[in-house]
Structure 1
Amino acid sequence: MNHSNLKYIECDNNELVPASSFHAPAPKLQLRFFSASSCTSKLLSVEFPTFLYSQYDLVFVDLSHNKFVAEHFPSWLVQNNTKLNRLYLRNTSFIGPLQLPQNPRPNLHTIDLSDNNIHGQIARNTCLIFSRLQNFIMANKSLTGCIPLCFRNMSSLEKLDLSNNHMSCELPDHNLPRGGSFLWYLKLSNNNFKGLLPPSVFNMTKLVYLFLDGNKFVGEVPDLSENNLSWSLPLGYYAPSLRYVHLYKNQLSGPLPYAFSNLSSLVTLDLGDNNLTGPIPDWIDSLSELSIFDLKSNQFKGELPSQLCFLRKLSILDLSENNFSGHLPSCLSNLNFTASDEKSSVLYSMVPIDEFDDEGFHFDSKILWAKIDLKIVVELTSKKNFYTYEGDILRYMSAMDLSCNRFTGEIPIEWGNLSGIHSLNLSQNNLTGLIPSSFSNLKQIESLDLSHNNLNGRIPAQLIELTFLAVFNVSYNNLSGRTPDMKNQFGTFDESCYKGNPLLCGPLLRNSCDKTESPSERGPDNSNGDDGSIDMDSFY
Structure 2
Amino acid sequence: MSGDSVANLSNGNAREKKEIFRIEKKIATTNRMIEQMELAMKTKEDRLNGEQGDWYLNASLFLPFQELISLYLWDNQIAGWVENKECLSNLETLYLSANNITKVVASGGPTNLSVLHLYNITTYGSSFQTLLQSLGAFPNLTTLGLGYNDLRRRVLGDDDSSKLGALPSLKNLSLHGLSGAVPFQAFLNLKNLELLDLSYNTLNSSNIFQTIGTMTSLKILNLSSCSLNGQLPTSQGFINLKNLELLDLSYNTLNSSNIFQTIGTMTSLKTLRLQAFLNLKNLELLDLSGSTLNCSSIFQTIGTMTSLKTLRLANCSLNGQLPTGLCDLNHLQELDMYDNDLSGFLPPCLANLTSLQQLHLSYNHLKIPLSLSPLYNLSKLKYFDGSDNEIYTEEDDHNLSPKFQLESLYLSGCGQGAGAFPKFLYHHFNLQFLGISNIQIKGEFPSWLIENNTYLQDLSLTNCSLSGPFLLPRSSHVHLSMLSISMNNFQGQIPAEIGAYFPRLQVLMIADNGFDGIIPSSLGSMSSLRLLDLSDNGFDGSIPSSLGSMSSLQLLDLSNNFLTGRTLSNNSLQGHILGWIGNMSSLEFLDVSRNNLSGPLPPRFGASSKLKHVYLSRNKFQGPIVMEFHHSSGIMAMDLSYNNLTGRIPEWIGGLSDLRFLLLSHNNLEGEIPIQLCRLEQLTLIDLSHNYLSGNILSWTISTHPFQDDYNYQESFEFTMKNVRLIYKGSIIQYFTGIDFSCNNFTGEIPPEIGNLSKIKVLNLSHNSLIGPIPQAFSRLKEIESLDLSYNKLEGEIPPQLTGLYSLAAFSVAHNNLSGKTPARVAQFATFEENCYKDNTFLCGEPLPKTCGPDMPPSPAPSSTNNEDNGGFMDMQIFYVSFGVAYIMVLLVIGAVLYINPYWRRAWFHFIEVSITNC
Q: Which residue of 1 aligns with 2:482?
A: 110
In 1, the alpha carbon distance for the partners of 2:625 and 2:479 equals: 43
Q: Which residue of 1 aligns with 2:705?
A: 339
**Match status 1:317 vs 2:683:** no
Report which stretch shifted further, 184-193 or 257-266: 184-193
For residue 508 of structure 1, the aligned residue among 847, 862, 870 is 847
Q: Which residue of 1 aligns with 2:579?
A: 199
Q: Which residue of 1 aligns with 2:465?
A: 93
The change in CA–CA distance for 1:167 and 1:425 in structure 2 (over 3 A counts) is: farther
Which residue identity does 1:55 align to in structure 2? H
Which residue identity does 1:336 align to in structure 2? I
CA contact (8 A) 2:464 2:488 kept: yes
Q: Which residue of 2 aligns with 1:148?
A: 520
For residue 407 of structure 2, the aligned residue among 32, 57, 70 is 32
Could you give the per-residue CA deviations for residues 420-440 of structure 1, whole angstroms, max 9, x where no partner exists?
A: 422101123343443233322
In 2, the alpha carbon distance for the partners of 1:315 and 1:154 equals: 37
Could you give the per-residue CA deviations for residues 277-307 of structure 1, whole angstroms, max 9, x where no partner exists?
A: 3321222222222111011233333332223
Q: Which residue of 1 aligns with 2:808?
A: 469
In 2, the alpha carbon distance for the partners of 1:324 and 1:466 equals: 31
Q: Secondary structure at the match of 1:467?
A: coil
**Match status 1:382 vs 2:721:** yes
In 2, the alpha carbon distance for the partners of 1:172 and 1:303 equals: 42
In 1, the alpha carbon distance for the partners of 2:709 and 2:409 equals: 34
- Deviation for aligned residue 1:240: 1.2
In 1, the alpha carbon distance for the partners of 2:666 and 2:862 equals: 38
For residue 592 of structure 2, the aligned residue among 199, 212, 218 is 212
CA contact (8 A) 2:377 2:402 kept: no
Q: Which residue of 1 aligns with 2:652?
A: 283
- Deviation for aligned residue 1:513: 1.0
Which residue identity does 2:520 align to in structure 1? P
The change in CA–CA distance for 1:454 and 1:29 in structure 2 (over 3 A counts) is: same
In 1, the alpha carbon distance for the partners of 2:450 and 2:855 equals: 80
In 1, the alpha carbon distance for the partners of 2:610 and 2:403 equals: 49
Structure 1: gaps of 5 or more residues: 223-231, 347-373, 521-531
The change in CA–CA distance for 1:105 and 1:308 in structure 2 (over 3 A counts) is: same
Q: Which stretches of structure 1, 4 residues or longer, exceed 6 Å deviation after superposition?
A: none
Instruction: Report matched runs for 1:225-240 at 5 Å.
Output: 232-233=603-604, 235-236=605-606, 238-240=607-609
Q: Secondary structure at the match of 1:378?
A: strand
The structure with more radius of gyration:
2
**Match status 1:8 vs 2:377:** no
The change in CA–CA distance for 1:343 and 1:26 in structure 2 (over 3 A counts) is: closer
In 2, the alpha carbon distance for the partners of 1:57 and 1:483 equals: 73
- Deviation for aligned residue 1:320: 1.9
CA contact (8 A) 1:484 1:490 kept: yes
The change in CA–CA distance for 1:284 and 1:6 in structure 2 (over 3 A counts) is: closer
Instruction: Report matched runs for 1:400-419 at 5 Å.
Output: 400-419=739-758
CA contact (8 A) 1:276 1:300 kept: yes
Could you give the per-residue CA deviations for residues 287-339 of structure 1, whole angstroms, max 9, x where no partner exists?
A: 22211101123333333222322323211001123x22312332xx1423322
Report which stretch shifted further, 504-513 or 466-475: 466-475
Superposed CA RMSD: 2.8
Q: Which residue of 1 aligns with 2:635?
A: 266
- Deviation for aligned residue 1:129: 1.1
For residue 557 of structure 2, the aligned residue among 179, 183, 187 is 187
Instruction: Report matched runs for 1:4-83 at 5 Å.
Output: 4-20=379-395, 24-27=399-402, 29-41=404-416, 43=417, 45-69=418-442, 71-83=443-455
Give aligned-pair identity as a percent. Answer: 41
TM norm structure 1: 0.80
The change in CA–CA distance for 1:253 and 1:73 in structure 2 (over 3 A counts) is: farther
In 1, the alpha carbon distance for the partners of 2:677 and 2:598 equals: 27
Which residue identity does 1:278 align to in structure 2? G
Equivalences, count: 479
**Match status 1:427 vs 2:795:** no
The change in CA–CA distance for 1:21 and 1:266 in structure 2 (over 3 A counts) is: closer
CA contact (8 A) 1:343 1:395 kept: no
Structure 2: gaps of 5 or more residues: 1-375, 568-572, 864-919
Q: Secondary structure at the match of 2:835?
A: helix
Q: Secondary structure at the match of 1:11?
A: strand
For residue 257 of structure 1, the aligned residue among 608, 616, 626 is 626
The change in CA–CA distance for 1:136 and 1:306 in structure 2 (over 3 A counts) is: same
In 2, the alpha carbon distance for the partners of 1:35 and 1:277 equals: 52
Which residue identity does 2:614 align to in structure 1? V
In 2, the alpha carbon distance for the partners of 1:442 and 1:21 equals: 61
